[in-house]
């Protein structure tokens, strides 16, 4: 499995770091996406050890696609950019290279399209649009959330609108456990790291 999957992540939360630590421990390739506020650039680095980084690429021009992705997400979230727009564009670079996303989070009580709370909502919204653009009418999405409130995994799917059966709506369903990742996958989270979350993350690398 280690030769078939590569972790794509950031380095912003304790959960992000736990994804990296677990991947390194089990010899999974890791790509770390770092935003430099001074240069307004994203560095993409390969991780060869807990503190050993090798720069493999720098992208200074985010392009119109990144800006458009962030703007679409803001509309669906009914909000403006939370702090650094550059970090969101960095997240887009990470997501467009991914085949799936696994994250630790919670549901929102607001009216957002995908009902995810916190900064992870931006990642999920952007990846949802990226996946839709590449696949014709998917019934399920490779978007998996470990919900810390319910201590269970959920997957994003499409379901019929009860009032308009011809219309499809995104819906989260509870699953026993997501499939192990293949190809490039994003692993992130913004919740507080605890032993239960550490255990859940570790299962993907065993």
What's the pLDDT tens digit per position in 20-56? 999 999 889 999 998 877 677 777 888 765 555 555 5
- Structural domain tally of the chain? 1
> From CA 106, how far away is CA 191, in angstroms rounded?
8
- Stated pTM of the model: 0.88
The average pLDDT across 109-131 equals 88
Q: What is the largest CA-CA distance in the chain?
A: 54
Residue of higher predicted confidence among 65 and 132: 132
* Strand, helix or coil for residue 132: helix
| pLDDT 10s digits, 174-204 | 999 999 999 999 999 988 899 999 999 999 9
| pLDDT 10s digits, 57-110 | 555 455 678 888 888 888 888 887 665 677 888 899 899 989 999 999 999 877
Percent of the chain whose predicted confidence (pLDDT) is above 90: 46
- The answer to whether 180 and 203 are in contact (CB under 8 A) is no
The average pLDDT across 160-166 equals 72
Q: Is residue 60 exposed (0-12), middle (13-18) or buried (19+ Cβ within 10 Å)? A: exposed
The average pLDDT across 138-150 equals 94
Q: What was the pLDDT predicted at 83?
A: 58
Q: What was the pLDDT predicted at 65?
A: 81
Q: By residue range, what is the domain housing residue 187?
A: 5-203
Q: What was the pLDDT predicted at 64?
A: 75
At residue 111, does pLDDT exceed 90? no
Helix-helix angle 120-134:85-96, to 10 degrees: 40
| DSSP per-residue string spanning 142-205 | EEEEEETTTTEEEEEEEEE-SS-TTSEEEEEEEES-PPPP-EEEEEEE-S---HHHHHHHHHTT
């Amino acid at each position: 499995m280690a030769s078939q999957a590569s972790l794509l992540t950031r380095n912003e939360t304790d959960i992000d770091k736990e994804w990296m630590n677990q991947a390194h421990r089990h010899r999974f390739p890791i790509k770390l996406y770092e935003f430099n506020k001074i240069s307004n650039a994203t560095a993409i680095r390969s991780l060869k050890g807990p503190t050993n980084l090798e720069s493999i690429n720098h992208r200074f021009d985010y392009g119109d696609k990144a800006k458009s992705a962030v703007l679409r997400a803001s509309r669906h979230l009914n909000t403006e950019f939370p702090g650094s727009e550059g970090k969101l564009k960095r997240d887009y670079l990470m997501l467009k290279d991914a085949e799936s996303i696994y994250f630790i989070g919670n549901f929102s009580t607001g009216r957002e399209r995908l009902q995810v709370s916190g900064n992870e909502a931006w990642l999920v919204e952007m990846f949802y649009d990226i996946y839709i653009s590449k696949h014709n009418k998917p019934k399920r999405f490779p978007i998996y959330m470990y919900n810390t409130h319910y201590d269970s995994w959920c997957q994003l799917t499409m379901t019929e609108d009860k009032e308009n059966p011809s219309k499809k709506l995104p819906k989260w369903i509870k699953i026993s456990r997501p499939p192990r990742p293949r190809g490039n996958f994003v692993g992130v989270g913004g919740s507080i790291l605890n032993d239960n979350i550490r255990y859940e993350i570790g299962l993907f690398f065993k």
